[in-house]
Amino acid sequence: MDPARKESGSTPHRRTPEPSPRDLLRAAAEFLTLHHTEERLGDPARRIAAARAEIADTGTYRHTTRELVFGARVAWRNANRCIGRLYWHSLSVRDRRDVRDAGEVAEASADHLREATRDGRIRALITVFAPDTPERPGPRIWNEQLIRYAGYTRPDGGVTGDPRNAGLTAAARRLGWPGGPGTPFDVLPLVIEDAGAAPLWFTLPEDAVLEVELTHPEYPWWHALGLRWHAVPAIANMCLEIGGVCYPAAPFNGWYMGTEIGARNLADTDRYDLLPFIADRLGLDTRTDRSLWKDRALVELNRSVLHSFDQAGVTVTDHHTESRRFLTHLGREERKGRPVGADWSWIVPPISGSATPVFHRTFEAVELTPAYVHHPEALERARGAVLS
């Protein structure tokens, strides 16, 4: 599951302006108090005093490794748009705050994918690179996810591949990327910048990218369609905000819920738009919506995703199971006296919503910190609108 958001559609636009020393100290005190309270570490006064002195001296402060781990996990717990938060406490954290060079970020990101993939037994994982500081911003990863498929704009205005990534594809080409073979599923390079320097592109090694070829449990011809998807949904362009400190490059992943691929990535009209094609192959009547051809094609496409990931031994979950697990998460948090924010429009699955228990609940979108947020320029960069 994607820890922060569904695969497609709008993304949160909350921004993280540079905090004043007073605001930073307030955020630090709130976070350190939360950490000491939940982890039963005793009175946080001494730690807050140390942070206050560090902020007065340098304009920022450094989290301990234990604080970083706690903050990253709680940020997942606070993600209003994620249905998979039951596992927030199992998030593994790679502390790479010593890394800010673009090449080293690319290398460590490839290592992240290898460690998260584990031959298909996907692990929830985050790698945290250097934070923003008053002296120097941290590195930025332009890609929305570490693994994304290129979108090549054709002369006729159409797109080969994923239209969502057409802007980033064009930006990578302008930076010197020669492009891939030109298939609908060419893996994009990572585009990374450090401290405002010119961005650089880096090809992901083949052994860091696990993909699943899509077949169908009933239709042998499905394999010949050449459909595929990658195994690890690693969000790369969001800031991990902990106690007022922004870590702008902190790629993180859970594992996929099948509908993220089958009901959004491959089905949305502004993505791969496969429903008319699949319906035609299934022999469905597409002349009228009353035949429910879209619904039937959508179900078969989602069956294909779940079947294929299972056959390949790659972790995936389904929307019925995950809806029940989300209610388990709600119950656990309520018993601990912690509020749970949730965005109903994102929690309810994009297929068979009323058949899941989350459809029949109401939720309040409570903004809590630590959190995963978009730094101001992230969406522009992901679409290739900024090149300097």
Q: Which of 47, 67, 82, 142 is catalytic?
A: 82
**Residue 211 per-residue DSSP state:** E
Length of the chain: 388
CA distance 341 to 89: 17
Token pair 């990218």 is found at 209
Active site residue 260: yes
CA distance 140 to 191: 9
Question: Each residue of 23-50: b (16+ CB within 10 Å) or e?
Answer: ebbebbbebbbbbbeeeeeeebeebbee
Backbone angles phi, psi at 266, to 5 degrees: -90, -15
Active site residue 136: no
Using CB atoms within 10 Å of the CB of residue 286, give its burial: 0 to 12 exposed, 13 to 18 middle, 19+ buried: middle
Q: Which of 73, 81, 85, 271 is catalytic?
A: 85
Active site residue 154: no
Q: Which of 142, 201, 222, 255 is catalytic?
A: 255
Contact call for residues 91 and 127 (beta carbons, < 8 A): no
Contact call for residues 326 and 356 (beta carbons, < 8 A): no
CA-CA-CA-CA torsion sign (159, 165, 170, 172): negative
Q: Which of 260, 293, 322, 381 is catalytic?
A: 260
Question: At how many degrees (to 10) do helices 65-77 and 21-38 cross?
Answer: 90
Active site residue 241: no
Contact call for residues 242 and 71 (beta carbons, < 8 A): yes
CA distances from 3 to 106, 234, 360 (A): 21, 9, 22
Query: Which residues are the active-site residues?
Result: 82, 85, 255, 260
